[in-house]
Amino acid sequence: MEDPKEIDSVYWDEESKSWKTEKITVEEYHGFTECRYCQSPMSHNVKTNGEFKVVYVRCRCSRS
Ligand SMILES: [Zn+2]
């Protein structure tokens, strides 16, 4: 599998009290953690804007 160049990051927005997505540009990709229920990625370890970050995404069970 090729490393992703962009990831749709999911975060909680306090103002609107809802989940929002934000596009993260991946500079370096360092793997992911998978959800133990659906085995799809739930967070990615990446470098973005020169910073190492854990980026959360929607796994398959939260997509339903
Ligand atoms: Zn899941």
Is 35 in a helix, a strand, or coil? Answer: coil
Which residues line ion ligand 1, judged by CB < 5 Å?
Answer: 35, 37-38, 59, 61
Dist. CA 63 → ligand 1 center (Å): 8
Going from N- to C-terminal start, the domains of the chain cover 10-59
pLDDT of 5 > 70? The answer is: yes
Q: What percent of the chain has pLDDT over 90?
A: 91
Over the stretch 11-55, which tens digit does the pLDDT of each residue have? 999 999 999 999 999 999 999 999 999 999 999 999 999 999 999
According to the model, what pLDDT value does residue 63 have? 64
**Judging by beta carbons within 10 Å of its beta carbon (0-12, 13-18, 19+), is residue 47 exposed, middle or buried?**
middle
pLDDT of 64 > 80? The answer is: no
Dist. CA 50 → ligand 1 center (Å): 29
Give Rg (Cα) of the chain.
Answer: 12
According to the model, what pLDDT value does residue 62 have? 75
